Amino acid sequence: MNASAVSSPSAAAVDPATAPPPIEHRLRDRVAVVTGAAAGIGRAYAWRLAAEGAHVAIADVQPADETREGVEQAGRDAFVQRCDITDPGDVQAFAAAVTDRFGRVDILVNNAGIYPHAPLEETTFDDWRRVLAINLDGSFLMAQALAPALRASGRGRIINIASSETWMVSPNATAYLASKMGVVGLTRALATELAADGVTVNAVAPGLTGSAGDSPRTTVEDMLPDLFDVLPQMQAIKRPGTAYDLVGVVAFLASDDARFLTGQTLVVDGGMIRR
């Protein structure tokens, strides 16, 4: 699957309600970093940013050949380096390699994350630390390492990924919800600290979202098999979300159209949460 497939499938083959939003080409020649972009929603973000004109650097612990191919098929440069976002040394090395390759960084999408759910009594401290390390520490380390380049851009953008679940009654999610609410707090703090240099910092809080293109299915279904049937009935828009429902929001936040928007968390969950 290539970038054009993500951005502009045949109109006859796609339900207008779930088709990807139109490409505005707002990011021409900017440089975007996307973490966790080897597959799933992160890959969709990378492909959409490339379709909007950005070169894309991918940080992941998994091979990202397909993501690279999609970025290059969109006519943009792709850079891939293995990076454990919980390791300060790995993150610093990645940041140095990206700035050496492109000479700049304009956009950071902190997408990498995990979604474990377990009862409190069954959550070990190692489990807790792993969730916080990937979902929160990684976003902090990437923002810190790339802050100089984002400041130098003059119009830097950081887009963190939270979760609408933080405002829901959700059992067996202590570590996950703590990590994602931490992302909201990090977003607000960074927005204040980086604003003087033209850097905006916002978060997207998706609801239940499939991880591949227009598919509403995800590995979450293996853990909570009834969720995709029950949860959408509680939303204003009564269908599961897809990656296509998120990529346009991320592209908007990365663009100059969002230049006066910072410190905010946009809930994208079909109208489940009203804030």
User: Could you say which of 45, 115, 176, 244 is catalytic?
Assistant: 176
The alpha carbon torsion through 84, 90, 94, 95 (nearest 10 deg) reads 110
CB 246 within 8 A of CB 18: no
The alpha carbon torsion through 213, 215, 221, 222 (nearest 10 deg) reads -80
Whose CA is closest to 47, among 218, 274, 262, 212?
212
Distances (CA, A) of 207 to 15, 39, 130, 210, 240: 20, 19, 22, 10, 8
Rg (the chain; Cα; Å): 18
State which H helix or E strand residue 201 sits in: strand 200-206
Backbone angles phi, psi at 212, to 5 degrees: -135, 110
Active site residue 176: yes
Residue 260: how many other CB atoms lie within 10 Å? 7
Question: What secondary structure letter does DSSP report for 190?
Answer: H
**Helix then strand then coil, % of the chain, to nearest 5:** 45, 15, 40
Backbone angles phi, psi at 143, to 5 degrees: -65, -40
Tell whether the torsion through CA atoms of 79, 96, 35 and 118 is positive or negative: positive
Amino acid at the residue 117:
H
**Catalytic sites, residue numbers:** 176
